[in-house]
Amino acid sequence: MPNLESLTKSQRKPLIASFLKEMYFDRRSTIFKWARLTKQTPLIETKFLGQNLISLITGISGRGSAARGDDLRDGSEVKTCSRLDQLSKCNECGAHVTAIEDRCPNCGSQNIMRMTDSHWIFTINTQAKRNKILNATPMIYLLLIDGYRLKKKDLAKFSVWVINPKTDTFFRNGYINDYYRNNFIRRRNARENPAPMNVHPRSPKFGRTAARLIFEATMTDKGKVVISRF
């Protein structure tokens, strides 16, 4: 494999398609096969998939930190969420229903609430972490895997937004500062356990940020990847 930073955008584009086919479609097909036997949840760990994908998109390599340091070499951060194949719930008895099940495994009902509410999670539990994301993080890359406006034969959509936390006024004040001052500090002072900051994709609030859509691709149910924005 050549050095990532030496590859041009046109050279990285087919690699992205191959990566998504191998690391999402092939892995998903395999885990679904085994989950039908084991009756376990057929979920793919998308956090590290996201870090690899963003490196291919941007041409910026990582530091091999396994989410324990900077995600990209320049100090940028990568967040990933998938709204596909989430664990769902039976509307009749409340039991969990996996993505491979058409009926509730507990009561047999087909009245299933299919969940598609996954979101990006930011852990900002110290003043230092707040300051780092506001003042020392070059970019935040947000990957969403979902089924937004897909055609019948399509399996997944991959969308990537980028936020500059130093210049995005609404992200700084409407998300980071508002969460830290009015949620985290308030709950900590009340001796409660504050939840992390949640950013919901495609929501009206997210739409008020200056997030820029930089990548979009669809994957068919046969594993073909079509990149429409890069």
CA distance 122 to 180: 11
Residue range of the domain that includes 153 = 4-83+118-229
Q: Does 79 share its domain with 184?
A: yes
Q: Does 125 share its domain with 175?
A: yes
Q: Does 32 share its domain with 94?
A: no
Q: Does 223 share its domain with 130?
A: yes
Contact 79, 144 (CB under 8 A): no
The residue written with tokens 């395999």 in the block is 30
Contact 208, 170 (CB under 8 A): yes
Q: Does 182 share its domain with 160?
A: yes
Instruction: Give the mean pLDDT of 132-136.
Output: 96
Confidence of residue 70 (pLDDT cuts 50, 70, 90): confident
Instruction: Give the mean pLDDT of 153-163.
Output: 97
Res 20: pLDDT: 97
Task: At 76, list the tokens.
Answer: 């940028």
Which residue type does 201 have?
P
The answer on pLDDT for 174 being more than 90 is yes
Instruction: Give the mean pLDDT of 6-25.
Output: 96
Q: Does 55 share its domain with 26?
A: yes
Mean pLDDT (the chain) is 94
The answer on pLDDT for 29 being more than 70 is yes
Res 47: pLDDT: 87
Q: Does 162 share its domain with 57?
A: yes
Give the domain-ending residue among 73, 98, 115: 115
The residue written with tokens 């500059």 in the block is 164
CA nearest to 161, candidates 171, 151, 153: 171
Q: Does 145 share its domain with 104?
A: no
Overall number of domains in the chain: 2
The answer on pLDDT for 65 being more than 70 is no
